[in-house]
Structure 1
Amino acid sequence: GIPFETHTEVDRERYPDLLAARVALTKDEVDTFYKRFSKEAFWPTLHTFWERAIFREEDWIVFMKVNRLFAERTAAEAAEGAVVWIHDYNLWMVPAYLRELRPDLKIAFFHHTYFPSADVFNVLPWRREIIGSLLQCDYIGFHIPRQVENFVDVARGVAPLKVLETKACAPRYLTYGCAVGLDEVTTQIEVHGRRIGLGAHPVGLDIGRVKSALDAPGAAARMAALRRDLSGTRVILSVERLDYTKGTLEKLIAFERLLEEHPELHGKVSLLAVCVPAAKEMTVYDELQTRIEQAVGKVNGRFARVGWTPVQFFFRPLPFEEVVSWYAMADVMWITPLRDGLNLVAKEYVAAQGLTGGHGVLVLSEFAGAAAELHGAVLTNPHDIHDLTAKLYFGIAMNRAEAESRLRELYDVVCHNDVQRWGQEFLDAVNAPPPLAPEDGTTVLPADLLAEQPNALTAKDAA
């Protein structure tokens, strides 16, 4: 077989000095750690669908083993006193192992996935171990203030916790009138004498990538063809992965109701729905796919006529350049997750519209993290079919002046808080001068807070 190469180049042209240090995992470890356990136990729980979660102790053992391997590789690579930035729930246990292996490191963690309230998170059998590990970090970031506060509430159930500092959420974030809004956010806590920074950092967009897609050869011709094919029709666009958290089924039911309630829209609106399939090993989504396809067939069977198909459904991944052309052409972007950490598709749409001088309307679930940041979006409750229908109609019927005003506000937010600012602000927060140390000089959590299980792996297990 091909020998395993630990160090590999990432992109020789763009990042000539950047090397990736790889972690050797078997196919069984990858399948258990990611495709099964992360998606069957943690993903549904984090998105408040805990009744779908499947908890297996043997999978947890594999999860810990993989996390230890990542920690060991990091410990071997990191310079003295380096900042280590760990990403998302798949690596929850890395901070615990890494703190033990390399106490000199500054450990930062960013939680990309939604972080739920304590009554949901506490369903996890290993909540004490997970939170104990995260509390070994020096700084923990989430997308929005609501997720920060959810973490604080969960941590309170694991260890005595003192809030040292809070900040107002306005004006950057919505406070009231939004399901994920909040007026104040915790920015520093103390647990057993150890101080930990917290912050809200919604991931920004790479505006240049969207601009490059719009400027790419063939983009102008593609948009002209779309204009020609869809002339005389208001285009509603939906782009999402196949997942029960995305609200695709609820959206189709709402669109059917829209056509029932507004027959004057027949032949004048079309829903273009792009649904990217999951990996074939993830059979958990098979039933959902069948139900979605049936719902599409029902709508088209009821309302289609010669020359007009109400729902054009694309169950396949599309090239980014093609999707961006669709963003630029869509009159309404309809993003309705039942729960979402952030949702970058919303920002991609805003960028494409702004860069092409458009005036499209963003109708966004108020349960997406982006709802707290994107001033100018039309917010909707995806758990309420009546509201989904009403807000979609509002978006379709919106006058041009209001649509342009809303888009300007959205575009300003997306451009200002781009991916470069996101990364820089996060690292600035991590590297901010530390607060005064506690009087007793304590720097680590007591041993009983760290789970016994993570350290129970033998050398044989970790081999």
Structure 2
Amino acid sequence: MQETASEKIETAPENRQPPEAKKFDFMVVSNRLPVDRCSSDDAENDDDGWRRSPGGLVTALAPLMMKADGAWVGWHGAPDEELEPFSHDGIDIIPVALSTNDVELYYEGFSNATLWPLYHDVVAPPEFHRAWWDSYRRVNRRFADAVIEHAAPDATIWVQDYQLQLVPNMLRQSRPDLRIGFFNHIPFPAPEIFAQLPWRRAIIEGLLGADLIGFQRPSDAANFMRSARRFVGASIKQQQIQVKGPEGEVSHVARAQAFPISIAVDQISELAHRPDIIERARQIRQDLGNPKTILLGVDRLDYTKGIGHRLKAFEELLKEGRLTVEDATLIQVASPSRERVQQYRLLREEIEGTVGHINGSYDTIQNTAVRYLHHNYPIEEMVALYLAADVMLVTALRDGMNLVAKEYVAARTNDTGALVLSEFTGAADQLKQALLINPHDIDGLKGTIMRAVHLPANESRRRMRSMRKEILEHDVDHWSAGFLAALAEGELGDDS
């Protein structure tokens, strides 16, 4: 009897071979590899010059990769450089090379100036260029070919995110023996918005190459199924999509389901209990003059995050005297993002100009209204910020999930604090005891911020306890295990 995907992941061969000579039963495919190059300062700490990336996806899947003796396919981050497969920290790595032209057209162009704004409900206008699309197809083929070369018979392949939506069907056409999963980490738009994409049919057909297509929210899965019905004439019953071959026969059944991603809760909780991080949180408050209330925003510098709306609401509260700079400080962490893309450079100028205006109007010698930090910080510093902040502000205009909201809740181990959360995030489906807001409603946002600032201690404990219970039960391991179990169930269903 054929092994299921989950059984393959439980069994690793005793003897590891060089990656270039191996065939793998389990492979993860993403735009970026799970490793970063070490800088010259810390290279001595890693024999091979690489270190594991800190992202949530890597945290979730690294243990599975090591247990399954699996391989990770992706770009290593340096254009115009080809690398041979290698192993690092128990994971086999298969690099895919990208040229400077690929980065400009496939990544900065089609992925992040066409798909990203389109999939985020056209918060910014998407651009449609045929040269970008041609590059996207070529690069997706390169990723698919890397999998085809290294996948064992009947292997399980898990493709990640919007940069690689054509890969599932490319795999199916060449290797119908593979069990293929795909997970979309960002929203999927309504058909009325998706219709704008000139290559909409090719994208839908690319995704339908997967046996299981995962989304953050049920509404995203529903949007995809509606688009599949509208643009390729797919027959859909419940969450099952009958995919037809070139002769009109049903080639396979794809399923579209929601699998909301989460965080490494244990890691955040452990850091939140560390004495040095607790002391760092106290130092942060002291450095700000020990205000009564610290409000915190943590985002990539992206137009979908609603940073401007947050600053506008905070400025108006200062202007109206409902908050004072002596009593309240906003820390805004805005990590650098896509700085070669014009829209992002303009956004940075706009946000920094707004912060300068607020501070110029309301700062005193002793107090700063907005502490703006345009940096990336290690997780230890982020947890210290979560501990220091009384109110977390998540005002995204559209977000697939927003893991920052979950990290804040995980860090509040004493059940204090308040989370102000946009209803347009995937996290709002799960963190129902957050103070939910429509970020476009500035007056409503201001009122909710004030409610958070003055939230009674017993209500804060009740809300935070409920949210912590939710994420403790549904952490990132629960997410990955749930997706792979569903993928394996489909495999069993095919055999029965």
After TM superposition, the score normalised by the length of structure 1 is 0.84
Rounded Cα–Cα distance in structure 1 between residues aligned with 2:159 and 2:490: 20
SS at match of 2:127: coil
Partner of 2:460: 403
Q: What is the RMSD of the two structures over their aligned residues, measured on CA atoms?
A: 2.1
Give the aligned residue type for 2:480.
G
Residue 339 (structure 1) aligned to one of 374, 386, 398: 398
Residue 435 (structure 2) pairs with residue 383 (structure 1): no
Residue 486 (structure 2) aligned to one of 418, 424, 429: 429
Distance 1:315 1:433, change over 3 A: closer
Contact 2:123–2:304 (Cα < 8 Å) also in 1: no
Structure 2: segments with no counterpart, 5+ residues: 1-79, 245-249
CA-to-aligned-CA distance 1:337-366 (integer Å, 9 cap, x gap): 100010000111011112xx1401110110
Residue 315 (structure 2) aligned to one of 248, 256, 259: 256
Distance 1:191 1:50, change over 3 A: farther
Distance 1:25 1:250, change over 3 A: same
Partner of 1:189: 241
1:216-295 pair list within 5 angstroms:
218-229=276-287, 230-263=289-322, 265-295=324-354
Residue 182 (structure 2) pairs with residue 100 (structure 1): no
Residue 81 (structure 1) aligned to one of 154, 157, 165: 154
Contact 1:332–1:395 (Cα < 8 Å) also in 2: yes
Distance 1:433 1:24, change over 3 A: closer
Contact 1:50–1:120 (Cα < 8 Å) also in 2: no
Give the aligned residue type for 2:86.
T
1:136-151 pair list within 5 angstroms:
136-151=209-224
SS at match of 2:232: coil
Q: CA deviation at 1:280?
A: 3.5
Distance 1:88 1:421, change over 3 A: same
Rounded Cα–Cα distance in structure 2 between residues aligned with 1:280 and 1:247: 18
Partner of 2:267: 209
Rounded Cα–Cα distance in structure 2 between residues aligned with 1:26 and 1:189: 36
1:348-367 pair list within 5 angstroms:
348-354=407-413, 357-367=414-424
Partner of 2:202: 129
Q: CA deviation at 1:9?
A: 1.5
Partner of 1:44: 117
Structure 1: segments with no counterpart, 5+ residues: 166-186, 438-463
Contact 2:123–2:303 (Cα < 8 Å) also in 1: no
Contact 1:159–1:191 (Cα < 8 Å) also in 2: no
SS at match of 1:42: helix
Higher relative contact order (CA 8 A, sep 6+): 1
Contact 1:132–1:158 (Cα < 8 Å) also in 2: no
CA-to-aligned-CA distance 1:407-432 (integer Å, 9 cap, x gap): 00111111110111110000001111
Q: CA deviation at 1:288?
A: 1.2
Distance 1:281 1:429, change over 3 A: same
After TM superposition, the score normalised by the length of structure 2 is 0.79
Contact 1:40–1:54 (Cα < 8 Å) also in 2: yes
Rounded Cα–Cα distance in structure 2 between residues aligned with 1:3 and 1:260: 53
SS at match of 1:398: coil
Query: What is the aligned length?
Result: 409
Rounded Cα–Cα distance in structure 1 between residues aligned with 2:92 and 2:323: 58
Give the aligned residue type for 1:408.
R
Distance 1:270 1:190, change over 3 A: same
After TM superposition, the structure 1 stretch with the greater mean CA deviation from structure 2, 326-335 or 223-232, is: 223-232
Partner of 2:472: 415
Contact 1:6–1:23 (Cα < 8 Å) also in 2: no
SS at match of 1:430: helix
Give the aligned residue type for 2:344.
Y
Contact 1:72–1:101 (Cα < 8 Å) also in 2: no
Partner of 1:178: none
Partner of 2:86: 8
Give the aligned residue type for 1:398.
L
CA-to-aligned-CA distance 1:433-462 (integer Å, 9 cap, x gap): 45877xxxxxxxxxxxxxxxxxxxxxxxxx
Partner of 1:177: none
Distance 1:3 1:406, change over 3 A: closer
